[in-house]
Amino acid sequence: MTDSRRRTGAAAEAAAAEFLERAGLRVIERNVRFAHGEIDLVCRDADVLVFVEVKSRRARWGDGPASAVSALKQWRLTRLAHHYLKWRRLGEPRCRFDVVAVTVDDDGASTVRHLRGAFEATER
């Protein structure tokens, strides 16, 4: 990954975390890495554990950032969430999968959109 993409991704994740905190969620962890993937943000929304996928796109690309969360990506995020729960010994709490879409205009301004409950846990 290029430095530019890393900076863009880090800025999108920071914007997403700030947006979620202003909306009342508490960010517990960022960039939780496992051998087979990464969870961008883990949050608490009252008694619900929220796994957040952050997607960033340039406005000129046309498609929205959330369109990048394919069925395969959803399955991978579900699997990562199971690993996280086991790793942290959290049992079976109420969980939700959200997507935060960050669209960046040519002038550098960002628009953040929170897709609460963007998808259900998927099995293969």
Q: Residue 89 sits in a domain of what CATH number? A: 3.40.1350.10
Residue 5 vs residues 9, 11, 12, 110: alpha-carbon distances, Å: 6, 10, 10, 15
pLDDT of residue 104: 78
- Give the domain range for residue 77: 3-119
- Tokens read off for 99: 């997507």
Residue 67 lies in a domain: yes
CA nearest 65: which of 27, 21, 22, 111? 111
Count of structural domains, the chain: 1
Residue 124 lies in a domain: no
Reported as a single tens digit per residue, the pLDDT across 37-92 is 999 999 999 999 999 999 987 765 555 555 668 889 999 999 999 999 999 999 99
